[in-house]
Amino acid sequence: MPYNTNPELKTGIAPRVWALAWPMILANLSVPLLGLVDTAILGHLSDSRYLSAVAISTSLLAFLYWGFGFLRMGTTGASAQLLNKPKDANALLLKAAAHSLFIALCIGIGGLALSDIGLRLMNTPESLQPLAQSYLHIRLFSAPAVLCTYVIVGWLIGRQQTRWPLIIAVTTNGVNIILDWIFIVGLEMSSDGAALASAISEYCGLGIGLWAVRGALIASFKQGLRYSWQYGPALKQLLNNNVHLFIRTAALLFSFAFFTAQGAVFGQSTLAANAILLQLMLVSAYGMDGFAHAAEAMVGEAYSQGKPNALLRICQCCARYCVATALIASALLWLGETAILALMTDIDAVQHIASQHYNWLIILPLLCAPSYLLDGVFIGALKTQTMQWTMLASVALVYLPVWLISKELGNHGLWLSFCAFNLARSISLGLFFNRAILRPIAARS
């Protein structure tokens, strides 16, 4: 699969957006679908402790793994802006991969030492503590695979090669699902089985990713590591962008972890119900993210070349696709409520609570759609500092205050604050679009 080094494709913007987006839509959907399979298998066990333990552990893991999602996002934006500079792009891959492996080593050491403290901060009930800690320890061994794959996927998206990320995701999640059935159902390993399946599959995904970028890696080694290190963005610039993205991502993940921790206060059944609804939300979120990934690659290309009109047309096209996807997602969630909840769990108490809060889930895709797209636009333009401050403002000035005001509403108040937070993300990024992106690129053209 050759790398695309010709940005002046003869096709129009809409076909290009779709060509880049559809592999990422399928790749992204496989991630929450895997979560749904995990949730469904564990949700049909006789005891809801396993599902609750995994819900808490995965929220904590988000800080350790997803919190370093800047490795994917920062690499995508930089790679997109180096589309016609193969030596610089290859050097970027090498630097970002080395950065990811260093972080993975720190995660492995620190995570094992601090897992008990993290679980207590998540309000983990004593009955769930051993299960959650065991799940965490198993998953920590896959840190190098997870973070290095982030870099590879980000680099490939920036190079406008989105079919490889699809292959990586399908392989990883397909292996995970098969191993889930073997370990959880066949060998009755419950939550430990889910963790082991994830760890093994993540190393399978890394193997596919290394094969996908073998040409770039071989070229870098042939010209010498010291020589390659001189190309591409300076390490200081790369780290600066990554710091902004890390803070932004940590704030986002805090919102999910806070949601899970507060749900645990309302009891084990509410915690499990919220976990199911969040997994369903991720299905629509990852679907819309496919067009955000297309925006990352194409906006980065247009921004680096100083083409404001092309950039604006790309954003408008991606926005139309994104809104249509949100409408379809909300409609499908509304029409399929009974069947979806029955598929996710047969525990009556969990199903009843999930049904009571299902309307929040239906409106979320519409509230989130603009923020997903604008995230992609700002990543492509490498306007990472703006992303950082808008996310922090949405958490500190909207999410937490709304939660404090609506605490008397119980779990409904928690969902209200979560929806308000996502709406604030959309509005704040939209307000800065002209100032942070259009004005600078227009000044350069």
Reported confidence tier of residue 5, pLDDT bands at 50, 70, 90: very low
Whether 1 is in a domain gets the answer: no
354 and 276 Cβ atoms separated by less than 8 Å? yes
- Average pLDDT on 69-96 reads 87
Domain assignment present for 224: yes
Structural domain harbouring 395: 13-444
* Residue 84 confidence class, pLDDT cut points 50, 70, 90: confident
Answer yes or no: is 5 within a domain: no
Cα angle 376, 78, 385 (rounded to 5 degrees) comes to: 60
Residues 6+ apart with CB under 8 A from 213: 93, 152, 155, 156
**Rounded to whole angstroms, how far apart are CA atoms 205 and 209?**
6
Asked if 33 contacts 173 with a C-beta cutoff of 8 angstroms, the reply is yes
- Please determine, for residue 123, whether its predicted confidence score (pLDDT) is greater than 70: no
* 24 falls within a domain: yes
Please, what is the average pLDDT of the chain? 84
User: CA–CA separation, 16 vs 136, rounded Å?
Assistant: 40
What pLDDT, on a 0 to 100 scale, did the predictor assign at position 313? 93
Q: Look at residue 295 and tell me whether its pLDDT is greater than 60.
A: yes
Q: How confident is the model at residue 4 (pLDDT cuts 50, 70, 90)?
A: very low
Note the pLDDT tens digit of each residue in 247-258: 998 899 889 888
Domain presence at residue 4: no
Instruction: Report how far residue 38's alpha carbon sits from residue 59's, in angstroms, rounded to the nearest whole number.
Output: 14
- What's the structural domain count of the chain? 1
Q: From CA 65, how far away is CA 110, in angstroms rounded?
A: 13
Please tell me the predicted confidence (pLDDT) of residue 43: 64
User: Is 33 within the bounds of a domain?
Assistant: yes
Residues 401-415 have pLDDT tens digits of 999 999 999 999 999
pLDDT tens column, 192-247 = 787 888 889 889 999 999 999 999 888 887 777 777 677 767 677 888 888 999 89
H-type helices in 122-234, by residue range?
129-140, 143-158, 163-180, 190-212, 214-222, 225-229
377 — pLDDT class (breaks 50, 70, 90): very high
Residue with tokens 């979320």: 364
pLDDT in tens, 7-64: 433 457 888 888 888 888 888 766 656 656 666 676 666 556 666 666 666 667 766 7
Residue 2 falls inside a structural domain: no
CA distance 325 to 372: 12
Q: How far apart are CA 407 and CA 416, in angstroms?
A: 10
Average pLDDT over residues 130-139: 76
pLDDT of residue 56: 67
Structure tokens at 318: 């991606």
CB 34 within 8 A of CB 176: yes
**Upper half-sphere CA count for residue 170 (Cβ side, 13 Å):** 11
Mean pLDDT in residue range 258-270:
86
Q: Residue 7 has what pLDDT? A: 42
User: Is 94 domain-assigned?
Assistant: yes
